[in-house]
């Protein structure tokens, strides 16, 4: 690594950073700190004026909410499964469409499509598949033990959620992996091929190590998206059957806007934020260390 | 696609695997498209079959009710400007954060990425309260209920992930190129825009695609900030089909098909471009 | 690369041109002509501008025409219709009031459990012309601390919508279904009719599976207000309230004849239209869907005879509110507009014929669609029970109750166990206030 030791923070450093920081601070950081302040008060969801500070009361309440704790655990389970499924499939798809094979561009476009469907429409399509198509197929194939309305049982409803979100997210990380694969210099791979390394060897010794930045990024994005999952949860299962598939974001949203307990929702969000921040930053650190500097 | 399938592309079993996999992707989309042609009754009696008649009535109706052209204009403007500025500002920031490894850089970098984990719902009311303070009535300037105000917020929310992506890929750019250019007398701005930024093209395209994707479909933030009818974006204008009790599925599906076509075109265009760009880079 | 940079440059040029115009609200840059009809740009100084935001997406287009009409027939006020949003309307409204109440819409609509948090922003409307015509049974719904705080948009009623053809085939006389025994007996007969997969269908959305249906348990009792108060304070349990205990017993009796509440709302109504279900628990709001489905048979609305009940559950669909924080002239202009919309001949015909609103006011025009006619009839005969959940249920009970109903239909709990758990959820939700 070359030495870069000049003035510590020259003018250009701040000039380059300033626009990004300006927007970021005003849109994300300030409201976030307002949210932290609110979480220690009895704010009613409207103007903050007139609210009183109540110390850690809201945090104490959050930990006494059984639904919060079970949503918390479920979200972790969901996030772990999602990280594995989405990245394995996404990476495989990226490898597939960067091969020099026929119709690879078309396939790229196709795998990318599910990202474009969000919200209620997604729920509509997949509810139909799980609640009708599965039932019809089950009756026809005499396999009603496997093919029934998956949304009516807690465990299958959970897996439905995993399947649909994987279907949606795999194409998303595929795009990141494609960028990673394309920035691997082709002469390296060609040189290895000339040296007699087979496709598997090339994958293990050249592609994978050079892809570490992409893995860092994709793992983080999947993890944070899984933790924040709301749309698919709402449109597919709406937390049901009987609140068994309620992920944390939905629990927070419902606390705030269905039950009008804004400060409790703020406190829940802060607790959750702290926990996942620790986890994901550890993940970023760990994977970053394994990156190869060129 | 034709022009892509040049003669050196092989047809291997992998192609078959690819198309089999794509069936899994396309099947739900098939449901979406065929049902956008059906009447309510047909949708709920038989979702799988092809529509009994291929009429574009629901599309025409959706276009009219949504005020599609106005909404398309707003969406294009808001998404386009936001994405360009996100790319410009985040790439600059990521570059200095990566190339000047100091405690401050490390802190700023982790601050950027840590905030990606904040659930939007937890800050949305404070956000609107704060953004509302950004106004100068005498100049008719306000960030709420204006297109540039939404762009302002989009940039703020887009920074984290874009910086994260650029940061990750700048690491893989050999530092020697930059040193050579500095010796040649480039100043930092020239260095970044003429030397570094072009090398980052695959990342730039990726950042652009991912942002186009999320901004184009964004509903929650625009719904909170754009009140006037003439400012509506495409996702906002589809509200017509989602009533309190009654969802007009055929129109909603038609509206969605119309919504995603521009993004597909954008994606295919950038994919073509990226392939050409890489070929050009290799020759250099 | 050059091409990409040139795209970038042109986008930046576009941006600078755009940020120069700096005129919030005016649609100057992006070719807009289609939607905005209210040409408010050059209003004379003395003209008052008021804004409306409302949650019924299905009337938005027609309401724009009504507003345009109003704007063209008088010169004191400019009414501007703001965009609505279906799903998160209450959240959007809340964000606007939390940021700057004086800039929030002059007229807004809100009702049901969401309404209470906006009470602090509602102007008193007792002196409006419409208030004098308001029917007594709907006053309590829009009254806060003795002050009238809203003007009902429309009345809606629900019960069991039944397929007259199927009833005839099964040999059931709808008017005889005044006891649960007769009702269950009818279900038995209907089950035998070919094509009927379930005599009764519920849909699985929180309000449909739980709130509307559970409402009967309280609504048919004369002293539900007291009973709910005692329930809130933990003195009694659900099972101690005779009408609620009866409701659970009656649910046990009809459960075998239901679709287990597994259908979505759309599927439920379509199933009814296709003759799969003989009755659906729904209200007159399904009219548009049944019209779209072009149903071939006659249908009508029946009360649920739990505990011998013969009345329909009727309540306010929504209510117009005036923003207390708007300027005095704006508030006056808003009341004037609402009075015009509700009581003038032109306004009445818009409400009844265009929006199909059943009026909550004396002597006003009513719509003539099939289900609306049935509801109006029950209203005129004073054969109605209230929507108790709008005023007396704790926040969050819709979610908890729906979850329990799912458990009940899945066979995980019995009717009385459900009441037990419902009591716990109720007390918990009350305590959270």
CA separation for the pair B117, C68 (Å, rounded): 46
Q: What is the pLDDT of residue B42?
A: 82
Domain with residue A233: its CATH number is: 1.10.3720.10
C96 inside 8 A of chain B by CB: yes
Q: What is the pLDDT of residue C5?
A: 42
Nearest CB to C410; choose among A47, A152, A257: A152
Q: Is the pLDDT of residue A108 over 90?
A: no
Check C98 against A46: CB less than 8 A apart.
yes
Among C67, C66, C50, C40, CA closest to C107: C50
Q: How confident is the model at residue C15 (pLDDT cuts 50, 70, 90)?
A: very low
Q: Is the pLDDT of residue C285 over 60?
A: yes
Count of domains observed in chain A: 1
A186 inside 8 A of chain B by CB: yes
B227 inside 8 A of chain C by CB: yes
CA separation for the pair C52, C72 (Å, rounded): 17
User: How confident is the model over C171-192, as a mean pLDDT?
Assistant: 94
Q: Taking the CB of residue C16, how many other CB atoms lie within 10 A of it? A: 8
CATH match of B67-283 with 3.30.43.10? no
| A 53-92: CB under 8 A from B | none
Q: What is the 3-state secondary structure (H, E, C) of C43-110?
A: CCCCCEEEEEECCCHHHHHHHHHHHHHHHHHCCCEEEEECCCCCCCHHHHHHHHHHHCHHHCCCEEEC
Average pLDDT, chain A: 86
Burial of C13 (0-12, 13-18, 19+ CB in 10 A): exposed
Check B141 against C11: CB less than 8 A apart.
no
Counting residues of chain A whose pLDDT is more than 90, the rounded percentage is: 34
Domain that holds residue A171: 81-289
CB C267 within 8 A of CB C207: no
Q: What is the pLDDT of residue B245?
A: 65
DSSP labels, C224-258: HHHHHHHHHTTSS-GGGSHHHHHHHHHHHHHGGGB
C48: β partners: C77
Q: How confident is the model at residue C3 (pLDDT cuts 50, 70, 90)?
A: very low
Q: What is the pLDDT of residue A9?
A: 66
Q: What is the pLDDT of residue A189?
A: 81
Q: How confident is the model at residue C164 (pLDDT cuts 50, 70, 90)?
A: very high
Q: How confident is the model at residue C68 (pLDDT cuts 50, 70, 90)?
A: very high
Q: How confident is the model at residue C36 (pLDDT cuts 50, 70, 90)?
A: very low
In a domain, A227, yes or no: yes
Residue C228 in tokens:
């709910």
Q: What is the pLDDT of residue B244?
A: 65
Chains that touch C (3 or more CB pairs under 8 A): A, B
CB A150 within 8 A of CB A164: no
Nearest CB to C407; choose among A149, A242, A258: A242
Nearest CB to B117; choose among A48, A102, A224: A224
Check B115 against A29: CB less than 8 A apart.
yes
Partners of residue C288 in chain B, C-beta under 8 Å: 246
Topology classification of domain C47-155+316-371: D-Maltodextrin-Binding Protein; domain 2 (3.40.190)
Q: Which residues contact C262 (CB under 8 A, 6 or more apart)?
A: A131, A149, A152, C204, C409
Q: How confident is the model at residue C237 (pLDDT cuts 50, 70, 90)?
A: very high
C349 or B270: which leads in pLDDT: C349
Average pLDDT, chain C: 86
Q: How confident is the model at residue C45 (pLDDT cuts 50, 70, 90)?
A: low
Looking at chain C, the domain(s) classified CATH 3.40.190.10 span 47-155+316-371, 156-315+377-431
Q: Is the pLDDT of residue A138 over 70?
A: yes
Check B92 against A273: CB less than 8 A apart.
no
What tens digit of pLDDT does each residue of C115-159 get?
888 999 999 999 999 999 999 888 888 998 899 999 999 999 999
Per-residue pLDDT 10s for chain B (284 aa) are 333 444 467 778 888 888 998 998 898 888 888 988 988 888 877 778 888 888 888 899 889 888 899 999 999 999 999 999 999 999 999 999 999 888 899 899 989 988 888 888 888 889 999 999 999 988 889 999 999 999 999 999 999 999 999 998 888 788 888 888 888 888 888 899 988 898 888 889 889 988 998 898 888 899 889 988 899 998 888 877 877 667 788 888 898 888 888 888 888 888 776 665 555 444 33
Residue A271 in tokens:
């607790």
Q: What is the largest CA-CA distance in chain A?
A: 75
Looking at chain B, the domain(s) classified CATH 1.10.3720.10 span 67-283
Q: What is the pLDDT of residue B1?
A: 33
Q: How confident is the model at residue C380 (pLDDT cuts 50, 70, 90)?
A: confident
Q: Is the pLDDT of residue C212 over 70?
A: yes
Q: Is the pLDDT of residue C39 over 80?
A: no
Q: How confident is the model at residue C43 (pLDDT cuts 50, 70, 90)?
A: very low
In a domain, A36, yes or no: no
- May I ask the CATH class of domain C156-315+377-431? alpha beta
CA distance B121 to chain C (A): 10
User: How confident is the model over C245-250, as a mean pLDDT?
Assistant: 95
Nearest CB to A258; choose among C87, C204, C395: C395
**Which SS3 state, helix, strand or coil, does residue A101 take?**
strand
The pTM of the full predicted model, rounded to 2 decimals, is: 0.83
CA distance A145 to chain B (A): 22
Check B230 against C267: CB less than 8 A apart.
no
Q: Is the pLDDT of residue C397 over 80?
A: yes
| A 128-147: CB under 8 A from C | 131
CB B239 within 8 A of CB C86: yes
Q: Is the pLDDT of residue A144 over 90?
A: no
> Rounded to a whole number, what is the distance in angstroms from the first to the last CA of chain B?
26
**Helices (DSSP H) in chain B: which residue ranges?**
13-35, 40-45, 57-66, 68-99, 103-114, 120-131, 147-170, 175-183, 188-190, 197-199, 201-216, 220-225, 234-237, 249-283
Partners of residue B224 in chain C, C-beta under 8 Å: 91-92, 95
| B 206-265: CB under 8 A from A | 206, 209-210, 213, 217, 219, 242, 247, 249, 252-253, 256, 259-260, 263-264
CA separation for the pair C70, C78 (Å, rounded): 8
Counting residues of chain C whose pLDDT is more than 70, the rounded percentage is: 89
A290 or B128: which leads in pLDDT: B128
Check C60 against B80: CB less than 8 A apart.
no
ipTM of the complex: 0.88
Q: What is the pLDDT of residue C8?
A: 41
Q: Which residues contact B195 (CB under 8 A, 6 or more apart)?
A: B177, B178, B181, B186
Q: How confident is the model at residue A292 (pLDDT cuts 50, 70, 90)?
A: low
Q: What is the pLDDT of residue C156?
A: 93
User: How confident is the model over A123-140, as a mean pLDDT?
Assistant: 85
User: How confident is the model over C218-230, as a mean pLDDT?
Assistant: 93
Q: How confident is the model at residue A6 (pLDDT cuts 50, 70, 90)?
A: low
Q: Is the pLDDT of residue C13 over 80?
A: no
CA separation for the pair B225, B219 (Å, rounded): 10
């Amino acid at each position: 690594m070359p030495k870069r030791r000049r003035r510590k923070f020259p003018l250009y450093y701040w000039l380059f950073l300033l626009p990004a920081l300006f927007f970021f601070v005003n849109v994300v950081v300030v409201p976030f700190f307002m949210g932290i302040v609110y979480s220690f008060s009895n704010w009613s969801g409207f103007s903050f004026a007139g609210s009183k500070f109540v110390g850690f009361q809201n945090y104490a309440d959050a930990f006494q909410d059984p639904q919060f704790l079970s949503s918390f655990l479920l979200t972790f389970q969901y996030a772990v499964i999602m990280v594995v499924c989405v990245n394995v499939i996404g990476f495989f798809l990226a490898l597939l469409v960067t091969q020099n094979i026929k119709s690879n561009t078309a396939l790229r476009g196709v795998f990318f499509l599910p990202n474009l469907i969000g919200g209620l429409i997604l729920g509509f399509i997949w509810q139909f598949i799980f609640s009708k198509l599965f039932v019809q197929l089950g009756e026809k194939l005499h396999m009603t033990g496997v093919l029934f309305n998956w949304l009516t049982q807690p465990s299958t409803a959970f897996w439905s959620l995993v399947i649909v979100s994987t279907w949606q997210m795999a194409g998303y990380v595929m795009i990141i992996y494609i960028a990673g694969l394309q920035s691997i210099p082709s002469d390296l791979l060609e040189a290895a091929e000339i040296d007699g390394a087979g496709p598997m060897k090339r994958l293990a010794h050249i592609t994978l190590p050079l892809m570490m930045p992409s893995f860092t990024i994709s793992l983080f994005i999947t993890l944070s998206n899984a933790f924040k999952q709301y749309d698919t949860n709402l449109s597919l299962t709406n937390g049901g059957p009987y609140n068994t598939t309620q992920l944390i974001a939905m629990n927070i949203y419902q606390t705030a806007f269905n039950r009008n307990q804004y400060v409790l929702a703020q406190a829940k969000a802060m607790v959750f934020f702290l926990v996942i921040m620790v986890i994901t930053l550890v993940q970023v650190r760990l994977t970053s260390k394994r990156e190869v500097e060129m | 696609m034709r022009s892509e399938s040049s003669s050196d592309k092989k047809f291997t079993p992998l192609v078959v695997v690819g198309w089999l996999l794509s069936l899994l992707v396309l099947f739900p989309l098939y449901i979406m498209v065929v049902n956008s042609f059906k009447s309510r009754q047909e949708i709920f009696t038989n979702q799988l079959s092809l529509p009994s008649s291929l009429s574009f009535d629901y599309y025409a109706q959706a276009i009219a009710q949504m005020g599609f052209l106005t909404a398309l204009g707003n969406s294009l403007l808001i998404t386009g400007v936001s994405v360009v500025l996100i790319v410009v500002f985040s790439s600059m920031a990521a570059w200095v954060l990566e190339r000047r490894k100091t405690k401050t850089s490390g802190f700023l970098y982790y601050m950027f990425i840590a905030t990606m984990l904040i659930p939007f719902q937890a800050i949305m009311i404070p956000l609107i309260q704060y953004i509302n303070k950004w106004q100068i009535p005498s100049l008719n300037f306000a960030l709420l209920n204006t297109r540039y105000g939404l762009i302002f917020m989009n940039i703020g929310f887009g920074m984290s992930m874009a910086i994260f992506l650029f940061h990750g890929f700048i690491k893989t750019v050999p530092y020697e190129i930059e040193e050579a250019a500095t010796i040649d007398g480039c100043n930092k701005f020239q260095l970044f825009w003429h030397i570094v930024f072009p090398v980052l093209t695959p990342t730039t395209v990726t950042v652009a695609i991912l942002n186009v994707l999320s901004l184009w479909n964004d509903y929650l933030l625009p719904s909170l900030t754009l009140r006037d009818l003439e400012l509506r974006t495409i996702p906002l204008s589809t509200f017509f089909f989602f009533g309190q009790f009654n969802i007009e599925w055929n129109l909603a599906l038609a509206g969605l098909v119309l919504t995603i076509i521009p993004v597909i075109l954008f994606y295919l265009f950038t994919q073509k471009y990226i392939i050409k760009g890489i070929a050009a880079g290799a020759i250099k | 690369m050059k091409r990409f940079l040139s795209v970038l440059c042109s986008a930046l040029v576009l941006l600078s041109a755009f940020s120069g115009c700096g005129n919030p609200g005016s649609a100057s840059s992006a070719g807009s002509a289609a939607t905005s009809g209210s040409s408010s740009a050059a209003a004379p100084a003395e003209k008052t501008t008021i804004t409306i935001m409302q949650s019924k997406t299905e009337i938005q287009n027609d309401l724009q025409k009504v507003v345009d009409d109003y704007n063209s027939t008088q010169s004191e006020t400019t009414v501007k219709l703001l965009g609505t949003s279906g799903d998160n309307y209450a959240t959007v409204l809340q964000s606007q009031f939390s940021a700057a109440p004086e800039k929030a819409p002059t007229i807004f609509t809100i009702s049901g459990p969401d309404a209470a948090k906006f009470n602090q922003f509602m102007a008193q409307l007792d002196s409006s012309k419409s208030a004098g015509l308001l029917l007594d049974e709907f006053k309590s719904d829009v009254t806060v601390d003795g002050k009238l705080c809203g003007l009902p948009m429309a009345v809606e009623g629900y019960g069991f919508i039944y397929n007259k053809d199927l009833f005839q085939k099964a040999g059931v006389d709808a008017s005889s279904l005044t006891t649960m025994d007769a009702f269950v007996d009818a279900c038995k007969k209907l089950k035998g009719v070919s094509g009927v997969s379930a005599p009764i269908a519920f849909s699985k959305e929180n309000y449909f599976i739980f709130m509307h249906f559970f409402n009967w348990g309280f609504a048919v009792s004369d002293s539900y207000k007291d009973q709910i108060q005692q329930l809130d304070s933990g003195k009694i349990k659900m099972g101690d309230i005779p009408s609620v205990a009866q409701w659970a017993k009656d649910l046990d009796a009809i459960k075998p004849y239901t679709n287990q509440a597994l259908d979505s709302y759309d599927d439920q109504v379509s199933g009814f239209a296709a003759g799969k279900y003989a009755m659906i628990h729904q209200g007159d709001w399904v009219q548009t869907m049944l019209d779209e489905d072009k149903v071939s048979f006659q249908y009508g609305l029946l009360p649920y005879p739990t505990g011998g009940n013969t009345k329909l559950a009727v309540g306010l669909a929504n209510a117009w509110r005036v923003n207390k924080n708007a300027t005095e002239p704006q508030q006056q202009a808003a009341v004037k507009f609402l009075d015009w919309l509700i009581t003038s001949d032109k306004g009445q015909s818009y409400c009844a014929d265009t929006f199909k609103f059943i009026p909550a006011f004396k002597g006003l025009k009513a719509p003539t669609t099939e289900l609306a006619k049935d509801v109006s009839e029950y209203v005129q005969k004073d054969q109605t029970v209230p929507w108790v959940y709008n005023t007396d249920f704790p926040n969050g009970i819709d979610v908890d109750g729906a979850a329990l109903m799912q458990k009940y239909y899945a066979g995980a709990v019995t009717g009385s166990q459900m009441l037990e758990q419902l009591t716990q959820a109720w007390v918990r939700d009350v305590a959270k206030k």
